[in-house]
Amino acid sequence: MKPHKKKNGKISIIVQVAMMLAACIILTGILTYFTQIENSAELVTNLTEEKAAMTAKEVSMAVKEYPAYPWLLNYWTEHAGEMNIDYDEDYVRGSWTQKKVRLLMAHQPELDLQYASAAEIESLPPRDQKLYAEIIYSWLITRADQIKEVDEVDYLFCVATKPPYKEQFFVFSAADPGAVRGTEYEQVYPIGVTSEVIESQQEGMEDAVKHSAHIAAAGKYVDYYSYLESINGRDYLIGLTYDQTPILDRIIDNSKNGIIISMVYQLLLSFFIAVGILFMVIRPLKTVQENIRRYKDTKDSTSIVQSLSEVDLRNEIGDLARDVTDLAEEIDSYVDEISTITAERERISAELSLATEIQVSTLPHIFPPFPERDEFDIYAVMDPAREVGGDFYDFFFIDDDHLGLVMADVSGKGIPGALFMMISKIILKNCVLLGMSPARTLSMTNNVLCDNNRAEMFVTVWVGILEISTGRLTAANAGHEYPAVKRPDGTYELLKDRHGLVIAAMEDLEYEEYELQLEPGSALFLYTDGVPEATSPEKELFGTDRMIDALNTDPEAEPEQILRNVRIKIDEFVRDAEQFDDLTMMSVIYKGEGSRK
């Protein structure tokens, strides 16, 4: 026994556990971080949507506060270039809007600016309509600026657009104090600016018109559209944009800090767990391991039992130590039994080898068997599935002009099948040699084998007698496979002859025989069910069709080559699958009386 060698670079299990725990903690922290960020971003978006809906409603109320708002929206859109708007008015010190109010009141003293209807405004002269539109616009812009500041909206605006929403006309845009109005980057658009709409915004506008509102996240920004009104083929939408960068940055910072602290706590906890595993698991296991190795080298169960008795733990490791001691004691007791069993197996193997030799010796195995006879060629093989098999074949001269042929398959395998095979073979041959016909031979053999057949075994048999001078073949079949026949200058085909019941099934059976005329060049192929029932790894049977194809690979070949062709095809089909049945074949080629020297 070679001593145990330590492997180079071995890593202790406690180190592996610690590394695994650390990796799990880090991976969990990373997954938790990204999950929390994603959930937080979704929560912020949902809260932003609620806030945006309230802000959009407030802006909508500010617009619809004026009964003439449809007229106003239409006028602002169509006369944007004509209006004189002062966006940064100081209402405390006075403003152009206050002057415009006094001027309009001088023209229309009965007009209530706050509650004037569209019909009243339309009845005014164009000069006064323009004054009214500019006054209300200034008031609305002031209110929109207040809403933007109070609700902390990054961008607040109202646009007019129409399907397919490729352009938007800015009606008004709220601004922070001191913001510059213009069309440059980060400037607040004044009334009348028209800009192109990107595809995602087009979809958002269309959805807002259909469903009253639409929200979409674009990176760290959230865009919200709220449907206001449709006037003269234009859809008016309130747009809100929120920059989520500050709040997301705070969430990310808080998430990082919280996860780092959590990971530190988990690492400390893992350290204490690893220490507990070391003292409560690893060291006792190490003791068990050392004793197992010692027993492997010494086979001394006494010292193992004494050493492992010190591992007195009331857990699975303690059970393992006790199981190892029990196993060591049992192994010692099994060694003697194994030695006895090994000797017995060697004896049985020797007897099986002898039985195989005896069985093979009972079958014709010297080829050519009748070198002095040129009227026919014959070759046969038997490959048992076990050491000894139940298949057998036989051929022998009954007299100078008659050749007996037998192919049989016993139901059992191994030693019982071999014994039944030997008895069947002897009886069949003796009956044929006594001059009985094939049918009479099967009947007589059946009655003899039925007597005291306590094992209830049976045998399938094909028996034929070939008259060499004429080529006339008389045969009978007791439940055996159909033979294959080749006519002169032809190919092999199955001969579906008449079947009788298998031999040893029941007493007093009668069998029918038939005749077959073999012309010079004809051939006969006999086999057992091990050929068509050879099974592939896919559980598919070889079958008689493939067998016939194999025979016709070279139908003019000699008997030995014929059998070799069939076996090659079977091996290719079966590949590495296990052989479950005996495989026996015989090939007979009739050459005729004229070929005899």
Per-residue pLDDT of 281-306, as tens digits, reads 776 767 776 667 776 677 666 767 76
State in Å, rounded, how far the first CA of the chain is from the last one. Answer: 69
In the predicted model, what is the mean pLDDT of residues 360-382? 91
φ, ψ dihedrals at 61, nearest 5°: -65, -35
The domains of the chain, with CATH numbers, are 16-248 (no CATH), 299-351 (no CATH), 363-595 (3.60.40.10)
CA angle 492, 496, 499 (to 5 degrees): 140
Question: Before 126, cis peptide (omega within 30)?
Answer: no
Q: What percent of the chain has pLDDT over 90?
A: 51
Quick one: how far is CA 174 from the chain centroid?
A: 58
> Nearest Cα to 324, choosing from 359, 292, 350?
292
Q: Distance between CA atoms of 198 and 190, rounded to whole angstroms?
A: 20
In the predicted model, what is the mean pLDDT of residues 95-104? 86
Q: Residue with structure tokens 């045998």?
A: 459
pLDDT at 92: 43
Q: What percent of the chain has pLDDT over 70?
A: 81
* Cβ–Cβ < 8 Å for 112, 101: no
Q: What is the pLDDT of residues 2-25, one digit of tens each?
A: 444 445 556 666 677 777 777 887
pLDDT at 2: 47
Question: Before 369, cis peptide (omega within 30)?
Answer: no
Residue 216: pLDDT over 50: yes
Bridge partners of residue 581, in order along the sequence: none
Question: How many residues can be counted in the chain?
Answer: 597
